[in-house]
Amino acid sequence: MELSLTLMVISIVAAYLIWFNSITRSIKGRNGPRIWPVVGSLPGLIQNSNNLHDWIAANLRACGGTYQTIIFAIPFLARKQGHVTVTCDPKNLEHILKVRFDNYPKGPTWQAVFHDLLGEGIFNSDGDTWLFQRKTAALEFTTRTLRQAMARWVNRAIKLRFCPILKTAQLEGKSVDLQDLLLRLTFDNICGLAVGKDPQTLSHVLPENNFALAFDQATEATLHRFVLPKIIWEFKKRFGLGCEAILSQSMKHVDDYMTSVINTRKQELLSQHNGGTPHDDLLSRFMKKNESYSDKFLQQVALNFILAGRDTSSVALSWFFWLVSQTPHVDEKILSELCTVLLDTRGDVVSKWLDEPLDFEEVDRLTYLKAALSETLRLYPSVPEDSKHVIADDVLPDGTFVPAGSSVTYSIYSTGRMKFIWGDDCLEFKPERWLSKDGKKIDPHHNDAFKFVSFNAGPRVCLGKDLAYLQMKSIAAAVLLRHSLTVAPGHKVEQKISLTLFMKDGLKVNVHPRDLTQVMTKIYSLQ
Per-residue exposure over 385-413, b if at least 16 CB sit within 10 Å of its own CB, e if not? bbbbbbeeebebbeebebeebbbbbbbbb
What's the CA dihedral at 498, 187, 353, 521 to 10 degrees?
Answer: -10
Listed in order, strand segments (DSSP E) in 50-168 are 66-70, 83-87
Q: Which residues pair with 69 in a beta bridge?
A: 84
Q: Which residues pair with 513 in a beta bridge?
A: 483
Distances (CA, A) of 309 to 194, 268, 342: 9, 25, 28
Cβ neighbours, 10 Å, residue 277: 7
Q: Which residues pair with 483 in a beta bridge?
A: 513
Q: Which residue type sits at 295?
A: D
12, 3, 21, 95: which is closest to 400 by C-alpha? 95
Do residues 403 and 79 touch, judged by C-beta distance below 8 A?
yes
**Residue 519 three-state SS:** helix
Distances (CA, A) of 294 to 53, 55, 135, 266, 290: 40, 45, 18, 12, 10
Instruction: Classify residue 139 by burial, with Cβ atoms within 10 Å: 0-12, 13-18, 19+.
Output: exposed
Instruction: Classify residue 521 by burial, with Cβ atoms within 10 Å: 0-12, 13-18, 19+.
Output: exposed
Find out whether 339 is annotated in a ligand binding site.
no
Do residues 121 and 133 touch, judged by C-beta distance below 8 A?
yes
Q: Which residues contact 57 (CB under 8 A, 6 or more apart)?
A: 88, 411, 413, 414, 417, 418
Do residues 24 and 35 touch, judged by C-beta distance below 8 A?
yes
Do residues 180 and 506 touch, judged by C-beta distance below 8 A?
yes
Radius of gyration of the chain (CA): 25
Q: Which residues contact 464 (CB under 8 A, 6 or more apart)?
A: 141, 305, 308, 309
Q: Which residues contact 367 (CB under 8 A, 6 or more apart)?
A: 337, 435, 439, 440, 441, 442
Residues placed in the known binding site: 462
Residues placed in the known binding site for heme: 462
